[in-house]
Structure 1
């Protein structure tokens, strides 16, 4: 952001919200891989260099978290250049590191319960041109961690000073990651209808209508098994990753909302020298020439599904599928 220092007219231009939106619309190359495993800073690599230049001795760039006296407990997600973090019992924070602007959200307005299970989501409503943060709190009246049968869903629109209660989350959360997957103006979570149910669903929250709909996983993945399931986004499409002990299948929903449009993008075989590597294989990004950037049990690997070859960068314990996100630079302010 050194251009802001050149002259006042440039500063005002770059700070203009319409300029920021137009800049984001035409800028498609400034993507970064960000990890929060290095608190209190965040490591990141430009994706343009990940596939060609990274070696075990490559030093990642660092982003310094804007709060000196407080760290985060979860990297909720990234949307149009803005990063969102939960701060434990404090309200979440949104931050654009490119322009060094951040804002702490207002209080939720109620005391956090014991025995709480919390889901998050952060996304963009293109109809109202607003950013929204969602918090879903699951709880039971006796404060236990079992049988969480009640929930309340709160939504905050950036630029306002309060949270609003919206329709309760319809099903039971599934899996360990409580941060929803954002695609096509929706936030998506893997769920089941009850804690003991065996059927798997995807619950989608439409950020414009602020209402839910149910999506089905691919036909062979609608029953909860020992296979590890995760949601993700590749090529701007909703994806389902199913980790089997010997391989990982990557499914892509070509037309969002159409349950018949699921297509198997590729299958990842496990690497011969890492027989247990796929318990948490997580595709993070697919390049135009079909190279797949993977987190493989906290190890950074590239897989080319055209020829079935792997490239191991030798970088370990830096990234994790639970806390690594692809972030696209922008000039959009989180403080509308």
Structure 2
């Protein structure tokens, strides 16, 4: 106790600006632990300006980066009206070292022990957007171990088999707000009619609001997660005629939709010819993975929004009949490229030899998903995980599914 008092007295003579500069260079997990040193440090580290300063320094220097990796964990899901339990896949989320995937740490998100499938559908500035099978969305900060449960949106799906939900997540630097967009698209095949519902969530207001609809129908191929570049979410998919035409965008600042052109060589190609076109982000630039057997081309838009700046950066040979879906990042030395492929696998390409290796993680080589996140000191509403955080039990979930099935049947009868 005496030594602690002497230390506190000593640091009080150091200018606060110097202390702030030093602390902003440390890893966020270390800084969080330093809150207990003294009251002035606690106030400094909790201050929004310092939180933003630390984050911006990490983003500018590309330090304090980690991977969040999802691997499968199987369990037996029991329902009261089933004679035998059903084998379910419940991904486990790990944090791992950037570039190496070493030192995995099991993330303690709120649904960790609930045997409920959880999926990462967005990563932005250190926050993860998680979607739970029971319909919940939550923002989770793996560094501070805090989270926000988003208000529940009911999935009022009409009676049609062509219904899909697409998501986007990002940060609006003008309003300094984290936003999530959910797009529901319904195609009525017999009539050709399309129905949309676009909802946007704001962390600042903690509520959803309806925004103008999508200007065109599109079915994302391979992923329903919008890729964030320049505070704009991007999806690429086929239209009603299964033809690749353009990239659909949603600007988080003015909350409006627009379109970006594809490279000239890829425009108006049929799905069967291209075998998959995926949007991604590489080193801050929008990119496209175009799979045309027996190779895959990686295109990069060097100048955002300029059609003529599309450049073919790499051509990869076949990956044992799997498609390249999106690049994750360059290695620190820029000599390797980490890629996510179809069939839920991760590959690492040596950019000098153009040879690839399949990555193993936690004894699994399949059912992998990975995102990059940066340490962030932001404290969300719930500073610790409470025991009575309600997650629907298997019985409740099954009852809800039965109610939705009955509602769908009623809607079908009305249409007939």
2:286 is aligned, of 235, 238, 253, to 238
| 124-133 or 287-296, which deviates more | 287-296
Residue 76 of structure 1: how far off its partner (Å):
0.8
Distance 2:193 2:43 in 1: 50
The residue number in structure 2 matching 1:329 is 375
> What SS class does the counterpart of residue 168 from structure 1 fall into?
coil
CA RMSD of aligned residues (A): 2.7
**Which has the larger Rg?**
2
Shift of 1:174: 2.6
TM-score w.r.t. structure 1 length? 0.85
CA distance in 1, matches of 2:96, 2:179: 27
Inter-partner Cα distance in structure 2 for 1:313 and 1:176: 21
Residue among 214, 231, 248 paired with 1:169? 214
**Could you tell me how far apart the structure 2 residues matched to 1:4 and 1:41 are?**
30
Which structure's relative contact order is higher, taking Cα pairs within 8 Å and 6+ residues apart?
1
Q: In 1, distance between residues paired with 2:71 and 2:44? A: 35
Match of 1:66 among 101, 110, 115: 110
Partner of 1:23: 54
Distance 1:280 1:145 in 2: 34
The aligned residue for residue 252 of structure 1 is: 300
Partner of 1:121: helix, strand, or coil? strand
Does 2:344 match 1:310?
Answer: no
Counterpart CA distance in 1 for 2:46 and 2:365 is 34
| TM-fit CA distance, 1:280 | 4.1
Tell whether 2:40 aligns with 1:9. Answer: yes
Quote how far apart the aligned CAs of 1:212 are. Answer: 1.2
Tell me how far apart the structure 1 counterparts of residues 325 and 184 of structure 2 sit (CA, whole Å): 28
Distance 1:41 1:65, change over 3 A: farther
The number of equivalent residue pairs is 321
CA contact (8 A) 2:279 2:326 kept: no
> Residue 156 in 1 paired to residue 201 in 2?
yes
Would the aligned equivalents of 1:117 and 1:139 in 2 still touch at CA under 8 Å?
yes
Following the alignment from structure 2 to structure 1, what is the Cα–Cα distance between the partners of residues 353 and 152? Answer: 51
For the 8 Å contact 1:167–1:211, the answer to whether it is kept is: yes
Question: Does the residue aligned with 2:178 lie in a helix, a strand or coil?
Answer: strand
Q: Structure 2: give runs of 5+ residues left out of the alignment.
A: 1-31, 73-89, 383-416
Mapped contact 1:230–1:242 kept (Cα < 8 A):
yes
Give TM-score scaled by structure 2 length: 0.70
Change (3 A) 1:146 1:91: farther
Matched, 1:90 2:135: yes
| Displacement after TM superposition at 1:5 (Å) | 3.0
Go from structure 1 to structure 2 and tell me whether the alpha carbon gap of 1:312 and 1:105 turns closer, same or farther (over 3 Å shift): closer
Q: Which runs of 5+ in 1 are unaligned?
A: none
- C-alpha displacement at 1:161, in angstroms? 3.4
Q: Distance in 2 between matches of 1:320 and 1:251?
A: 26
CA shift, 1:319, in A, is 6.0
Equivalent pair of 1:41/1:65 in contact (CA under 8 Å): no
Corresponding position: 1:270 with 2:318: yes
The answer to which of 209-218 and 10-19 deviates more is: 10-19
1:284 alignment partner, one of 324, 328, 340: 328
Aligned mates of 1:243, 1:198 — CA distance in 2: 15
